[in-house]
Amino acid sequence: MDSSTEELVLESPHGLDVVTEVLIAVASGRFDVRAPRSFDGSAMDVLAFMVNATAEEVGLLVATLDREREDLQRARDQLVLAEKLAALGELSAGVAHELNQPLTVIRMITDLLRSKPNATIAECAADLATIADASRRMGRIVDSVRAFARGRSLVVESIDPIAPVESALVLVQEANRQSGIRVDRDYQPDLPRARADADRLQQVFVNLLVNARHALESSTTTSERVIHVGIAAQGEQVVYTVEDNGPGVAAEHAGRVFDPFFTTKAPGSGTGLGLSVSHGICVDHGGSLCLEPRDPVGARFVVRIPLEREAKRS
């Protein structure tokens, strides 16, 4: 017996009590307990030997499983990060454009102010307020990019359920505008708070919104391109819907869109990880991500995340 194991000392150190005690310890996650041996070759001693060997085996097995679970979690975290980096490439042009607008406003107004060296602060108040607005807007964009790029494990806390959707929309709005896509918001008023990692959910919505835009860009329909984003509380969950009126998911692909590396995009333009990583993030929250049929055309993705009141009870 090695020094880290503990030999049971029972009031009655014989018989089945000892063996039962070791098995109860194993079942409750303690693998360092051993039954005392008499080494007299009796049936009880053989049983003690076997139960000790079993405790040791199970202990080793559980340690291996724990290590593998940690390796798997690390691999998944890396996958989430890799997928994010790929998406950042896709978003960067839009974000640069997005930052350029307030920057241009700031430049124009500072040039204007420079041309009026004798103006009083009161006379410049409106211009200064515009500069403040523009810089706040830049701050919001930078915050959204920073939240998106952050690579860390899941941090679940009480969040405003609208926040991750809005910070995702900041990142995609310029690309949507360029592709003539209207975004409709339908948010239930006075939504209760959710238990979630806002950065990770932002990643889910960026993926869904980018997919919706790609689908709409590939669509040949003459009707207006629309992405509809809904948020509502339903029972103990907050339910997000992201729908588009593009061509929708082909019936033969519906069962595979959440598979890692499944993509219908041209080689080099899609990793096929977006939905699989997003699905993993939703499940990690104790929620779900599914594809639902949309009438008459298009795709509807539904994200369900626990509300704070539900999480508190469990």
Ligand X SMILES: Nc1ncnc2c1ncn2[C@@H]1O[C@H](COP(=O)(O)OP(=O)(O)OP(=O)(O)O)[C@@H](O)[C@H]1O
In this structure, what token pair is assigned to residue 181?
A: 């896509």
Helix spans in 245-307 (H): 274-284
Only one of the segments 10-18, 129-137, 144-152, 241-249 lies at the binding site for ligand X (rule: CB under 6 A); that segment is 241-249
Is 244 among the residues that bind ligand X (CB under 6 A)? yes
The residue from 257, 281, 303, 307 that contacts ligand X (CB under 6 A) is 257
**Is residue 232 within 8 Å of residue 239, measured between CB atoms?**
yes
Only one of the segments 16-24, 45-53, 127-135, 266-274 lies at the binding site for ligand X (rule: CB under 6 A); that segment is 266-274
In this structure, what token pair is assigned to residue 308?
A: 């704070």
Provide CB contacts within 8 A for 137, sequence distance 6+: 102
Which partner, Mg ion, ligand X, none, binds residue 141 by CB below 5 to 8 Å per kind? none
Which partner, Mg ion, ligand X, none, binds residue 245 by CB below 5 to 8 Å per kind? none
The residue from 102, 161, 164, 270 that contacts ligand X (CB under 6 A) is 270
Nearest CA among 207, 185, 196, 177 for reference residue 276? 207
| Nearest CB to Mg ion, comparing residues 176 and 237 | 176
Alpha-carbon distances of 160 from 6, 19, 43, 210, 311, rounded to whole Å: 50, 53, 64, 22, 15
The residue from 161, 274, 280, 306 that contacts ligand X (CB under 6 A) is 274
What is the distance between the alpha carbons of residues 210 and 161, in angstroms, rounded to a whole number? 20
Only one of the segments 37-45, 117-125, 160-168, 206-214 lies at the binding site for ligand X (rule: CB under 6 A); that segment is 206-214
Is 215 among the residues that bind ligand X (CB under 6 A)? yes
* Least gap, CB of 239 to Mg ion (angstroms): 21
Is 282 among the residues that bind ligand X (CB under 6 A)? no
In this structure, what token pair is assigned to residue 229?
A: 């984003």
Secondary structure class of 77 (helix, strand, coil): helix
Is 264 among the residues that bind ligand X (CB under 6 A)? yes
| Nearest CB to ligand X, comparing residues 16 and 93 | 93
Q: Which residue is nearest to ligand X (CB)?
A: 274
What is the distance between the alpha carbons of residues 48 and 54, in angstroms, rounded to a whole number? 10
Residues making up the chain, counted from first to last? 314
The 10 Å Cβ neighbour count of residue 242 is 24
Q: Tell me, residue by residue from 235 to 274, as one string, x for binding to Mg ion by CB under 5 A and - for no binding.
A: ---------------------------------------x
Inter-axis angle of helices 198-217 and 43-114, nearest 10: 70
Is 48 among the residues that bind ligand X (CB under 6 A)? no
* Least gap, CB of 300 to ligand X (angstroms): 8
Which partner, ligand X, Mg ion, none, binds residue 75 by CB below 5 to 8 Å per kind? none
Provide CB contacts within 8 A for 112, sequence distance 6+: 127
Binding site for Mg ion (CB under 5 A): 211, 274
Binding site for ligand X (CB under 6 A): 86, 207, 211-212, 215, 244, 246, 248-249, 253, 257, 262-265, 270-276, 299
